[in-house]
């Protein structure tokens, strides 16, 4: 059990579980249990806080906009928002009795020179004062991420949010995702709506599906040989994205290396995409857990 600060990386462990968070975007870039890595990270990913691009892989944080947002308040904010581009503050890490905890923070003060932040502020006609916190709790068999947002001055602050998690798998064609049966989805590639009637989802081509989770979809399992994980999240994260760029689109991304590694990853992402508001002076929070099974 240890904590180590190595330039822009914070590494911490608890028993045989190890994690690493990059200050760039407060991105969880590694989660290892018993020697097995469960997160995909591109070999071309730049983990420096000074990098002009977000980290390709791990668990980037999507905020305040998802994709090219359809919400009026977010239409001028770049795809997937800007907090994944920012260098977060590392606050403290502590080895406790049951787990190791690492805390990070980002406020509006660090974003004042960021053009996308300025674009967001223009909609409200004033500087948005906010604070985001990320708290990672590392246990022997799981990691829990707690995120909090405080709106300091806007009457009603609207946002979208997503844990954009890249999971490492031995072979995506041999991977199954369970727990989505009965969930409504939007196939974003074909602009087609559907209802998932299968107990198992297979990813065998370019995939970009947005699921609306119901009461029976609160545990999502990724099953792939000996790399099996269970994903859970707080009830206010009612959306889930499944994404894989596949061969053609992987080849177009400069920071996706090796190009063939689309075969060894899949993004499965809890979030809230319909638009969430937090009133002035209030705190919004959510939680996401990855458990080895």
- In the annotation, is 269 catalytic? yes
Q: Which of 18, 80, 108, 164 is catalytic?
A: 164
Q: Which of 80, 108, 137, 269 is catalytic?
A: 269
**φ, ψ at 263 (rounded to 5°):** -70, -15
Strand partners, 224: 227
Q: Please, is 43 exposed, middle or buried when counting C-beta atoms within 10 Å of its C-beta (0-12, 13-18, 19+)?
A: exposed
Tokens describing residue 101 = 């905890």
**103 is annotated as contributing to ligand binding:** no
Rounded Cα distance, 61 and 11, in Å: 18
**56 is annotated as contributing to ligand binding:** yes
**282 is annotated as contributing to ligand binding:** no
| Cβ pair 242, 271 in contact under 8 A | no
Rounded Cα distance, 237 and 271, in Å: 5
Shortest CA distance to 54 belongs to which of 37, 20, 78? Answer: 78
List binding-site positions.
56, 79, 84
Known catalytic residues?
164, 269
List binding-site positions for substrate.
56, 79, 84
């Amino acid at each position: 059990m240890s904590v180590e600060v190595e330039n822009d990386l914070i590494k911490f462990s608890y028993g045989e579980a190890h994690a690493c968070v990059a200050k760039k975007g407060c991105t969880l870039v590694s989660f290892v249990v018993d020697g097995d890595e469960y997160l995909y990270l591109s070999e071309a990913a730049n983990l420096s806080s000074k990098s002009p691009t977000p980290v390709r892989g791990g668990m980037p944080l999507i905020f305040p906009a998802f994709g090219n947002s359809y919400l009026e308040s977010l239409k001028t904010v770049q795809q997937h928002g800007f907090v994944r581009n920012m260098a977060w503050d590392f606050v403290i890490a502590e080895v406790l009795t049951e787990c190791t905890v690492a805390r990070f923070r980002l406020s509006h003060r660090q974003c004042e020179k960021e053009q996308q932040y300025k674009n967001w502020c223009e909609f409200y006609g004033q500087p948005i004062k906010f604070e985001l916190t990320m708290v990672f709790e590392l246990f022997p068999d799981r990691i829990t991420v707690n995120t909090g947002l405080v709106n300091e001055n806007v009457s009603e602050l609207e946002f979208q949010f997503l844990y954009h998690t890249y999971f490492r798998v031995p072979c995506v064609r041999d991977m199954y995702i369970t727990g989505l049966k009965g969930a409504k989805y939007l196939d974003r590639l074909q602009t087609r709506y559907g209802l998932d009637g299968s107990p198992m989802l297979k990813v065998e081509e370019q995939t970009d599906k947005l699921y609306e989770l119901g009461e029976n979809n609160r545990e999502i399992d990724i099953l792939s040989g000996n790399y099996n994980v269970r994903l859970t999240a707080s009830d206010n994260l009612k959306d889930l994205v499944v994404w894989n760029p596949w061969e053609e689109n992987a080849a177009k991304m400069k920071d996706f290396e090796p190009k063939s590694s689309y075969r060894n990853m899949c993004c499965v992402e809890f979030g809230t995409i319909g638009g969430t508001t937090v009133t002035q002076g209030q705190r919004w929070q959510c939680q996401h857990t990855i458990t080895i099974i």
